[in-house]
Amino acid sequence: MRLEEIFSDSFDLAKKLTEDFGKLLILMVLSIIPLLDLIVIGYGYRIVQMGRRELPELDNYLDLFINGLKIIVVVIYFITPILLILISLGLKFTSVVILIMFLSISLLFLLAIVAAIGIVHMIVNNSMAKAFAIGEIMDIISKIGWSKYLLWLLVVFIISIVISAFESIPYIGLLISGVLAPFYTVFAARASYLIYMEAKV
């Protein structure tokens, strides 16, 4: 599939949320509640797990919560070393520190490249260990095509940044973010599955 087809397919699935207001409302509310927002992340997990052009049922909340937690654990594993380095630098901005920060942020981006596919690899294979199978992940990205994958990642990343930016709006930021979060979750999950499956073609 071309990237525009991947994004179009993912957008169409996200739009289907508007056809089930009850499900959409629950996801919106959960999105703005700390810890319970893991259920929304777990719903994205289920979308990848199903791999179909239809929205899964919003049930078995404990299962959704646990799967959402799995994704968070993987993300934390990848970013913790970099965050520790940045935190240890404190507020001292010498030329050496700035260089280290630049290298750390660059490494963080590289880890994000691996983590994005790693999470899908974990879900598809139902094995948390697969999220850290670096050799397999790099092989998958190579089969997708590095330029195609990086462009895909950039688009998904930019959309997430735009949505996150709404949270900074006084008074209504959290509400706007809560409204958009379910749509982005569905979109990103479907897009992640489709780009992953490009390696299987």
Q: Judge if pTM exceeds 0.75.
A: yes
Terminus-to-terminus CA distance in the chain, angstroms?
9
Q: Give the per-residue pLDDT at 79.
A: 83
Give the pLDDT of residue 193. 98
Structure confidence by residue, pLDDT tens digits, 143-190: 999 999 999 999 998 898 888 888 788 888 888 988 999 999 999 999
Residue extents of the structural domains in the chain:
3-74+112-200
- Higher per-residue confidence, 111 vs 20: 20
- Residues 124-145: b if buried by 16+ CB within 10 A, e if exposed: beeeeebbbbeeebeebbeebe
Please write the tens of the pLDDT for every residue from 73-93: 999 998 887 777 667 666 555
Q: Is the pLDDT of residue 110 over 90?
A: no
* Mean pLDDT, range 25-53, rounded to an integer: 96
201 pLDDT band (50/70/90 cuts)? Answer: low
